[in-house]
Homo-oligomer: A and B are copies of this chain.
Amino acid sequence: MQLTGKMFIGKNTVFGLAGTIRAIDPSINQELEPVFGFATEHEVEQACQLAGQAFDTYRATSLEQRARFLESIASGILDLGPALIERAAQETGLPVARLEGERGRTVTQLRLFAKVVRDGNWLDATIDTALPERIPARPDLRLQKIALGPVAVFGASNFPLAFSVAGGDTASALAAGCPVVVKAHNAHLGTSELVAGVIQQAVADCGLPEGVFSMLIGAGSKVGQQLVSHPAIKAVGFTGSRSGGLALVHTAQQRKEPIPVYAEMSSINPVFLLPDALHAQTQLAQNFVDSLTLGAGQFCTNPGLLIAIDSDAARAFLDQAGAALQKKAAATMLTPGIYQAYVKASDKLSDIAQLNLVAKGQAAQSSCAAQAVLSVCDGAAFLNTPALQEEIFGPSSIAILCKDFAEVVQVAEALEGQLTATVHATTADHALAKKLLPVLERKAGRILFNAFPTGVEVAHAMVHGGPYPATSDSRSTSVGATAIDRFLRPVCYQGIPADLLPDALRDDNPLQLTRIMDGKMMTA
Contacts and interface: CB of A to CB of B under 8 A. Distances in A.
B459 A148 contact: no
A433 B55 CA distance: 19
Contacts of A334: none
Given A445-B490, A446-B494, A494-B447, A127 B461 contact: yes
Contacts of A492: 445-447, 461-463, 477, 480
Interface stretch (A135-143, A336-344, A346-354): A135-143
A59 to B, nearest CB: 8
Query: Of A142, A143, A494, A516, which is in contact with the most chain B CB atoms at under 10 Å from its CB?
Result: A494
A497 B449 contact: yes
Contacts of A448: 139, 494-495
A451 to B, nearest CB: 5
B519 A490 contact: no
A166 to B, nearest CB: 21
B491 A463 contact: yes
Given A143-B460, A494-B448, A496-B449, A148 B521 contact: no
Contacts of A121: 516, 521
Nearest to A488: B475
A130 to B, nearest CB: 10
B447 A496 contact: yes
Interface in A417-451: 417, 425, 427, 430, 433-434, 437-438, 441-442, 444-451
A205 interface: no
A127 B441 CA distance: 17
A521 B523 contact: yes
A26 interface: no
A474 interface: yes
Contacts of A442: 55-56, 149
B438 A60 contact: yes
Number of copies: 2
A24 interface: no
A201 interface: no
Interface string A379-397: 0000000000000000000
A447 B491 contact: yes
Contact of A430 (B119, B141, B477, B497): B497
Query: Of A444, A445, A459, which is in contact with the most chain B CB atoms at under 10 Å from its CB?
Result: A459
A463 B467 CA distance: 26
B495 A460 contact: no
Contact of A257 (B430, B467, B482, B519): B467
B445 A128 contact: no
Query: Of A449, A490, A492, A500, which is in contact with the most chain B CB atoms at under 10 Å from its CB?
Result: A492
Contacts of A494: 446-449, 451
Contacts of A495: 448-451
A521 B122 CA distance: 12
Contacts of A477: 490, 492
Nearest to A116: B519
A457 interface: yes
Contacts of A119: 519
Contacts of A463: 143, 490-492
A500 B427 CA distance: 10
B518 A460 contact: yes
Given A438-B60, A468-B257, A493-B447, A461 B143 contact: yes
Interface in A470-510: 472-477, 480-482, 488-497, 499-500
Given A136-B455, A141-B462, A445-B489, 6 more contacts: A128-B457, A427-B497, A444-B491, A445-B492, A465-B490, A476-B490
8 contacts: A128-B462, A138-B459, A139-B448, A257-B416, A257-B468, A446-B491, A450-B495, A465-B490
> Which 6 interchain pairs have the tightest Cβ spacing?
A463-B492, A143-B461, A141-B461, A446-B492, A448-B494, A126-B461
